[in-house]
Chain A
Amino acid sequence: MSKLEFVSPEGYRIDGRRPEELRRIQCKLGVLSRADGSAYLEMGNTKVICAVYGPREVTERRKMQYDKAIINCEFSMSTFASSERRKRTKQDRRNVETALIVKQTFESTILLNLFPRSQIDIYIQILQSDGGDRAAAINASTLALIDAGVAMRDFVCACSAGCIDGSPLLDLNYVEGTANGAELPVALLPRTNGIVMLQMDSRLPIDMFERVLRLAMEGARAV
């Protein structure tokens, strides 16, 4: 059985990209008329739609904070998002984890104390998944929040990078992501280069880690 080569000898990946090349990004703001802010984002074949409601009155009184806004985030994948139809509930562990990551990312970026006693809702739906879900979700949320007019410190840009067979690659698609390498989504604020979110699945030796991290930051800045 021939081993699938992720990087060909000429330096091309499976989809014809170079190792440090991002996928094509397209986005559109204001796609949902009823939401305060909304955005549709495509990173290659990964398609994400995000709706933001807020700041608005808190729905659960006991969660209300008198001095700042609370962020409520829900992340879900459509059943037709991956190559086989799979039904996932919102309470699925991976969905809850991703929602929590997005929430924490924006808790540090949105100027929450400008909106006391309010709630900001972020709803993310993946329409088609081809790797880099979390990065695309964060990018779409940033655009939707800006469309809604929510005050933020800066854009939050995210990109994932990984390391397969010893070579660092940027913006992994689904095939590369499920290979036995590590994936590292990184989100940062371009103006200050401060990292807002960093996650890692599976293990990575420490020297590779630095290279991959630097590559991911470059990619995120390019976004």
Chain B
Amino acid sequence: MNVEILTPQPQPPKKKSRINVQHVMPGDIVTTEVGFMRGHGTFVEEDKLIASVSGIVERVDKLISVRPLRSRYTGEVGDVVVGRVTELGPKRWRVELNARQEGQLLLSAIHLPGGVQRRRTQSDELHMREFFTENDLISAEVQAVYSDGLIALHTRSLKYGKLENGHFMTVSPALIKRSKNHFIHLECGIHVILGTNGYVWITESVPHAVASSDVSGDQDISAKVYKVITAEVREKIARVANCVTALAHCNVSIHADTIMNTYSKSSVLKTKDMLKPEKIYTITQYNPKNEEE
């Protein structure tokens, strides 16, 4: 039996913050000047702007807001998210998104097989379960965020839809910043979907997966596709998953560059050794200067 005793590991040297950040706690006065608009995380009392969460003050022109250090996902239009279907309702699916409320995916907002644009009939409504059923993972885009916080999703493009044959994991939403591309193809043949809500999906890259509409029109969207994934691919998926876990553990933001960097640095280690406390910091060192050399 392999027993390991953990000794306290030396923490990596903390980077000096270049920007002067103002950190506030609930109840702290952010500013007493008038003329500022108040954003998220603040409230006004007796002409004073007071923080309501523990976080960092962000000032954009005349807008002051406090970004909390830890928080659930708050939706913004255009975000790519990964979610799990929890419930079927009348003409909609309820999707769990690691947000303050469950998101909803309307029947009229999904992509029908065959690529046709037609009105959804009652027969569609009765066959909703064939599209997505409970506990399915889906990738979608945020269509709208209503004033009470409800997030409306859509899967109107072929790149969104049900996710199968892969590995699901969660990280903190703050580590995944909004970027142009959330569907990452790594050189090792692994496809990663970084949901802005902190949910990550890792699967094998299939070259013809990004199909044109005429190819997928013949496929039955409800057929469960179980592929045989070889051990080699599974090892790569596990390695990428460990990379993401390591980055999350060290609070490094997660995007294509950092994942590839960590992956290449970790090629000397065995996949199961990657997450050991003494190794985890060596593989996540991301120094932009190295890339230029």
A interface residue numbers (CB < 8 A to B): 30, 36-37, 54-57, 66, 111, 115-118, 146-155, 189-191
| A155 vs B26: C-alpha distance when bound (angstroms) | 6
Interface residue from A36, A54, A111, A146 paired with B54 (Cβ < 8 Å): A146
B27 touches A149 (CB 8 A): no
How would you classify the secondary structure of chain B's contact residues: helix, strand, loop or mixed? loop
Which residue of the partner chain, among B25, B41, B102, B148, contacts A151 with CB atoms under 8 Å? Answer: B41
Closest to A120 in B: B100
Q: Known interface pairs A153-B43, A155-B25. Does A37 touch B70 (Cβ–Cβ under 8 Å)?
A: yes
Contacting A at CB under 8 A, from B247-263, are: none
Q: Tell me whether A55 and B72 are in contact in the complex, defined as CB-CB below 8 angstroms, given that A115-B100, A116-B149, A149-B53 are known contacts.
A: yes
CB <8 Å contact, A189 and B101:
no
The reply to whether A146 and B148 form a contact with Cβ atoms under 8 Å apart is no
Q: Does B71 contact A (CB under 8 A)?
A: yes
Beyond A111-B43, A153-B50, 13 additional contacts (C-beta under 8 Å) are A30-B70, A54-B100, A55-B72, A115-B100, A118-B100, A118-B149, A146-B53, A146-B54, A151-B52, A153-B26, A154-B27, A190-B27, A191-B27
Contact with A along B35-61 (1 / 0, CB 8 A): 000000101010000101111000000
Distance (whole angstroms) from the CB of A148 to the closest CB of chain B: 7
Tell me the minimal C-beta distance from A109 to chain B in angstroms: 9
- B34 — which chain A residues lie within 8 A by C-beta? none
Contacts of B43 in A (CB 8 A): 111, 151, 153
The answer to whether B100 touches A153, judged by C-beta atoms less than 8 angstroms apart, is no
Query: Would you give the shortest CB distance from A129 to chain B, in whole angstroms?
Result: 28
Tell whether B277 is near chain A: CB-to-CB under 8 Å: no
Which residue of chain B has its CB nearest to the CB of A151? Answer: B52
Q: How far is the CB of A147 from chain B (nearest CB, A)?
A: 6
